[in-house]
Amino acid sequence: MNDMNNENVLFNKILIIGMKGVGKTKCILNYVYSNAFPYNHEIAIEDSYRKMSHYIEKFPVIVELFELIEINPISDYNLKYVNESNIVIVMCELYSEESVQYLESTLFPAMEDKIANLPTLIVINDKLNKENHTKKRIKKQNIKSILEKFKIHNYSFIDISTSNYSTIVNLFSHCTTIFAFTFQQNIELVEVILKKDKKLLSKNCVIN
């Protein structure tokens, strides 16, 4: 079916975690099907999705996305994926304080120290519901305190809207850049990308 030598294919494994309903699946499917999927699922499906993405040097890179559903306890199948991941996306919803509390009460305790050293993107999803805008926005400072408590230091914030495809593309191009530098073992550069180089992202995808 294809002539790619499997030994030379790189996998960028991205773990996506966050409270139920924050938009993890919608984000994944939008990206994998390039904004053209029949979105009719309502049930949480624990699955992984792959997409041929780009090349690093001469190697094709396949982005593999894995949404973690059951985290309490993490099953052996899930654990294998958690341990193999290159990047973690932690998703919250812009108008859901509950999605932030979930990090502290449930998600990070279940992860123990398994994701502490991985590049982590804190993705804040604006689901663009009209009714949401009467609610308070979540505060990044609160999330930062929780990250500190769980000793997650290698992180950056990215604002997206799962209804706006260009913000999803920008999120995953950011993942691509981080992976490229991780692959080249340039951990310092990963840190620079996460903390300092805001120019890498377009205005659609705010990092701060």
Ligand X SMILES: Nc1nc2c(ncn2[C@@H]2O[C@H](COP(=O)(O)OP(=O)(O)OP(=O)(O)O)[C@@H](O)[C@H]2O)c(=O)[nH]1
Interface residues with ligand X (CB under 6 A) are 18, 20-26, 42, 44, 127-129, 161-163
* Interaction pattern, residues 17-36, with Mg ion; x per rule: CB under 5 A: -------xx-----------
* Residue among 44 and 52 whose Cβ is closer to ligand X: 44
Instruction: Report strand pairing: 48-56 vs 59-67.
Output: antiparallel
* Residue among 50 and 196 whose Cβ is closer to Mg ion: 50
Report in angstroms how near the CB of residue 141 gets to Mg ion at its nearest. Answer: 28
* Residue among 162 and 182 whose Cβ is closer to Mg ion: 162
* Residue among 110 and 189 whose Cβ is closer to Mg ion: 110
Name 148's Cβ contacts closer than 8 Å, sequence gap at least 6.
Answer: none
Query: Of 44-103, which residues contact Mg ion (CB under 5 A)?
Result: 44
Asked if 190 and 154 touch (Cβ cutoff 8 Å), the reply is yes
User: Which of ligand X, Mg ion, none does 128 bind, CB closer than 5 to 8 A by kind?
Assistant: ligand X
* Residue among 109 and 196 whose Cβ is closer to ligand X: 109
**Cα 113 to Cα 89, 104, 110, 118, 182, distances in angstroms:** 15, 13, 9, 10, 20
Report in angstroms how near the CB of residue 91 gets to ligand X at its nearest. Answer: 7
Residue closest to Mg ion when measured from CB atoms:
25
User: Which of Mg ion, ligand X, none does 154 bind, CB closer than 5 to 8 A by kind?
Assistant: none
Report in angstroms how near the CB of residue 68 gets to ligand X at its nearest. Answer: 9
Query: Of 34-53, which residues contact Mg ion (CB under 5 A)?
Result: 44
User: Which of ligand X, Mg ion, none does 127 bind, CB closer than 5 to 8 A by kind?
Assistant: ligand X
Contacts with Mg ion by CB under 5 A lie at 24-25, 44
